[in-house]
Amino acid sequence: MPRYRICIEYDGTPFVGWQRQAQGQSVQGALEGAIQKFCGETVPVHGAGRTDAGVHALGQVAHLDLSKNWEPFRVREALNFHLKPAPIAVLACDVVSDDFNARYSATARHYRYRILCRRAPPILDRGRVWWLPILSLDHEAMGAAAQLLLGRHDFTTFRAVGCQATSPLRTLDRIDVTKCGEEIHIEASARSFLHNQVRSIVGSLKLVGEAKWDARDLEAALLARDRAACGPVAPASGLYLVRVDYGQLITTSEEIAEDDD
């Protein structure tokens, strides 16, 4: 039974999230429905990250098993045909070994958060950025403060109350804050993330950018290990799963399978 890896782009606005749920349309459910229409098989699609409702993806990765040896090109084209008009596209498809797992084999996940700072509301990017009707945030102060979060920490402050991860410990490998015209982009990379971790960090960094917090306040929030110490959680609309990396596995890591932003 061949295993296929697919890379997926989607607009998360109309979905209840990646994961199939009892109510509402999910990205996972839409893909599984397209597979059934394509080849008549009812098979699960396993994603690398369980993105929340409204979160977008530029490079989500998933795997699935089919009973027949289809050409990867045929699988990609058929899924894209049957996904219409859902805002989902399969960008690439290839055959992988049976031991590949989109979630468990991932060695790094990369997220981007977009903040738009301007008086006029977004039109073309409505639902795809966090619009702040202010002229600017101090992105340099945000970037400097963010470096205090690098490394391995207890991120209890920056995870959702209902987070199902067994441990709040995570290793943040990279977090950069850059200004791109009217937008501020926050890029974060780690093996895995806690539920709402990126959005919680972004909301707290916004307070730094507004000079309501400084770097010491952000560090104090981290060390508090208390959800009540977190700033307001940034909305889902500005968050993108950009890329998932696969390489040498660190099998002792407790972070291996718990990405859930």
User: Which helix H or strand E contains 190, and what residues bound it?
Assistant: strand 183-190
Q: What count of other Cβ atoms lies within 10 Å of the Cβ of residue 25? A: 15
- The pair of structure tokens assigned to 138 is 């101090």
Q: Answer with the one of 56, 73, 96 that is the final residue of a domain.
A: 96
- Same domain assignment for residues 155 and 111: yes
Domain identity same for 152 and 235: yes
User: Contact, 151 vs 217, CB < 8 A?
Assistant: no
Q: pLDDT tens string for the chain (261 positions)? A: 899 999 999 999 999 999 998 889 999 999 999 999 999 999 999 999 999 999 999 999 999 999 999 999 999 999 999 999 999 999 999 999 999 999 999 999 999 999 999 999 999 999 999 999 988 899 999 999 999 999 999 999 999 988 988 999 999 999 999 999 999 999 999 999 999 999 999 999 999 999 999 999 999 999 999 999 999 999 999 999 999 999 865 443 444 445 666
Q: Do 123 and 43 share a structural domain?
A: no
252 domain residue, yes or no: no
Q: Which domain holds residue 157?
A: 107-246
**Do 74 and 137 have their domain in common?**
no
Q: Are residues 120 and 45 in the same domain?
A: no
Which residues are annotated as catalytic? 52
